[in-house]
Amino acid sequence: MWSAVPLCSAYLLALLENLTVLSIIKVERSLHSPMYLLLAMLAVADLGLSTSTFPTMLRMLWLEAREISFGACLAQMFFIHTFAEIESAVILAMAFDRYVAICHPLRYSSILTNSVATKIGVAIVVRTALVQVPLPVLLTRLCFTRVSKLSHPYCLHPDIIKHAGLDTRINRAYDLFMLLSTLGLDLLFVLLSYLLILKAILNIATWRERLKALNTCISHICAVLLFFIPMICLSMMHRFGKHVSPRAYAFTANLHFLAPPILNPVVYSVKTKTIRRQILRMLCQRRFCKSRVAICQ
């Protein structure tokens, strides 16, 4: 019970932060550009990821509901992996945005238009659907004859197949294929884009200009680290960490799924001047309205 209150506060904070970012991008016309459209996609992915994980944890802690049906577990697993893959693809698209902005600044507006950003979003959804739909279908062919204890307070595919009664080689092979062809490939291209960005930055004459160019990537670098480092650790634990402590599993999984929805909006709000200015304007307007009401009373 003692951990339910901060967890609920963290979930509400994640909702508030991401909805604020989405509302600012929607209202402010100057933010209707590819960079901020990609940021809006990231906020949607964070909302989906937090909504897929937080409620089950709160239900377990507050109501002590420690059981979940197979159908509900499949649905939750599908949405968790779907939004995680969408977030990975959006981070890759944002890396492409930073690459074009730094390596081809004069052609940025012609290469990355709103139409291109929309097509990227559609491609991300199509790729995710093609990869994720077979996952629950493959699980339904397995036999689960007894009550099993999961490693996390939510359902993940590598965790579920540990408790199957039949041969799971096909499921494990598809899980590895899905991991390498989506998250692994995304991470590889993100690293490649930053190698090219670093090469372009080193060709800039002065250190001040180099730091200025690198400063535009800080928010995205934080998003990459927040998402991929816990994901890699969790994948390695599931595949090779047979003697890893259950608490290590829980901590890494919670860090992977709970930290990005909370911290990504904070990082982008602090580092993006336009969003920070809009948030301050909203807070000042609210404070001014409250002071006017107090005077009238």
Contact 197, 103 (CB under 8 A): yes
Lowest-confidence range among 73-82, 142-151, 185-194, 287-296?
A: 287-296
Give percent of the chain with pLDDT exceeding 70: 91
> How many C-beta atoms lie closer than 10 Å to residue 99's C-beta?
21
Helix (H) or strand (E) holding 200: helix 185-202
Distance CA 140, CA 145 (A): 12
Q: What is the pLDDT of residue 193?
A: 94
Tell me which amino acid residue 204 is. I
Query: Which has more pLDDT, 238 or 100?
Result: 100
Tell me the pLDDT band of 97, cut-offs 50, 70 and 90.
very high
**CA angle centred on 20, ends 19 and 23, rounded to 5°:** 85
Distance CA 142, CA 52 (A): 24
Q: What is the pLDDT of residue 122?
A: 95
Q: What is the pLDDT of residue 290?
A: 54
Phi-psi group of 64: left, alpha or beta (phi > 0 → left; psi -120 to 50 → alpha; rest → beta): left
Distance CA 72, CA 76 (A): 6
- Averaged pLDDT, 82-94: 94
Tell me which amino acid residue 268 is. Y
* Residue spans of alpha helices (H) in the chain: 4-27, 34-63, 70-103, 108-111, 114-132, 134-140, 157-160, 169-178, 185-202, 207-215, 218-240, 246-271, 273-296
Domains of the chain: 4-271 (1.20.1070.10)
Question: To the nearest whole number, what is the mean pLDDT of the chain?
Answer: 84
Distance CA 235, CA 253 (A): 10
Q: What is the pLDDT of residue 1?
A: 63
Q: What is the pLDDT of residue 293?
A: 42
132-180 pLDDT per residue, tens: 998 888 888 777 766 777 777 788 888 888 777 677 788 888 888 888 8
Q: What is the pLDDT of residue 129?
A: 92
Q: What is the pLDDT of residue 145?
A: 67
Whether residue 238 is predicted with pLDDT greater than 80 in this model: the reply is no
Whether residue 296 is predicted with pLDDT greater than 80 in this model: the reply is no
- Averaged pLDDT, 101-123: 91
Burial of 40 (0-12, 13-18, 19+ CB in 10 A): buried
Tell me the pLDDT band of 295, cut-offs 50, 70 and 90.
very low
176-235 pLDDT per residue, tens: 888 888 989 999 999 999 999 998 888 876 888 888 888 888 889 999 998 998 888 877
- Averaged pLDDT, 252-278: 83
Q: What is the pLDDT of residue 214?
A: 84
DSSP class of residue 204?
S
What is the model's pTM? 0.88
